[in-house]
Structure 1
């Protein structure tokens, strides 16, 4: 299982609809060598869900298991940067600076033909239209066969959907969103032991004041609250612990 944000210990992976659907989407993309997009606001669990789905691929039959490459680029990368980094990840070697984008692309076509691969582009909202077109060209090339997954935060789908050639080829798409406030207390009781016996109204208040339905915020709060519980020698978060956690997380002393 992937590590939780801030290396939170004892936390469980919540089987939310988004978490389970991500696993299905990754399997579908691999099975059909297709293109997919997982996107949504920061902190809603996209990266954790994708990492868990990638780990689950290890259970596939070796003949059906793809080789996975995960890429992350800085803001507004160039086409050559995309080609260079992808080729470097596939070969494990540096590319001579004298090689231009066209040389790199030709080499990539051969490498992406076989064996079956899954290329994951994280922070996809940073891509330019030219870079998106390069990846689409590689994916659509008659000699290549690989699955392509774009993962991104705020603005990701807006960036990708501006490219008609890509949008029309998206086989699976999953927009993440914050947790439903009504479901948060029950989910948090499954998330970490300090919430198992906690008051539902207290958990709802934490979500309203700090968590806002985002797993990253809940991880930060839980890390802080669990430390305070340990200091107090208690196993369940209470109102005092919550207010002390708020003080450590920018809420100020009361």
Structure 2
């Protein structure tokens, strides 16, 4: 009974994420309620209620962006504004992206004050969630602009800032976040004792693979990263199609790892 419970798949979300949110738009991928996704759901609901900032941190590939975007899209479908900024954004970029995300017609006015007036008017109509990925790349002027919007709106503004673990220092250096942030949430790689249950739920391809083989794959390649598991699943799907096989065997899995794990090559 203990072994059966250890391999019982994690639950799936009632509202699955759109396929394009999965890394590589992985065909057949399912939306697993991992500890990270559950934590983001709780934290985002709280930050949305308070209309405050939420900082989501973690190493590359642990599922930060997926968890935030999935939660925003499925739990707050009419409130979220996903901003995909460039490498070196400025306040003008934030204005332009907000203008577009809010569905305002035409190009943003050339006068920043006029643009801000339009943005504030729409934002004040109801609670919103502004999501900024790779937020640690923003300069101080962008943080100041988000502070301005948050403080200017009567009920505040929920802003989710996503950053890698190395970007935490950049976010914590922003004094304005210290009194406006509902939570600092760090997502972790998949724990070994949860690995088989999460990967079994992630994709049907892994249903016939024994837990010890999953642990081997994780130790040699994925290292608890959901992104790397999606990448591995994608390549195993292609290998199965080429071989005309239905289920992966240990030999095929080892071949796939050798082919895609460039970190082990000189």
Q: TM-score, normalised by structure 2?
A: 0.83
Give the corresponding residue for 1:33: 51
1:132 and 1:160 in contact (8 A); partners too = no
Give the corresponding residue for 2:14: none
1:250 deviates by 4.3
1:66 deviates by 4.6
Cα shift readout 1:36-75 (whole Å, capped 9, x = no counterpart):
11121111111221122123225xxxxxx75221112223
Q: TM-score, normalised by structure 1?
A: 0.86
Give the corresponding residue for 1:238: 249
Give the corresponding residue for 1:17: 35
Give the corresponding residue for 1:94: 107
1:38 and 1:175 in contact (8 A); partners too = yes
1:168 deviates by 2.2
Cα shift readout 1:55-105 (whole Å, capped 9, x = no counterpart):
3225xxxxxx752211122233222322233233321431233x1x34433
Cα shift readout 1:137-190 (whole Å, capped 9, x = no counterpart):
110115454321112224332211101121221102211121113322232122
Give the corresponding residue for 1:62: none
What does residue range 1-254 of structure 1 map to in structure 2 within 5 Å? Answer: 1-3=17-19, 4-57=22-75, 66-90=78-102, 91-97=104-110, 99=111, 101-143=112-154, 145-250=156-261
Structure 1, 112-121 or 209-218: larger mean CA deviation: 112-121
Matched length: 245
| Structure 2 CA distance for partners of 1:186 and 1:154, relative to 1, 3 Å | same
Cα shift readout 1:84-130 (whole Å, capped 9, x = no counterpart):
33233321431233x1x344334333232113222111221111112
RMSD over aligned CA atoms reads 2.3
2:236 and 2:253 in contact (8 A); partners too = yes
Question: For the residues of structure 1 that align with 2:54 and 2:243, how far apart are their CA atoms?
Answer: 47
Question: For the residues of structure 2 that align with 1:5 and 1:230, how far apart are their CA atoms?
Answer: 20
5+ unaligned residues in a row in structure 2: which ranges?
1-16
Q: Secondary structure at the match of 2:83?
A: strand
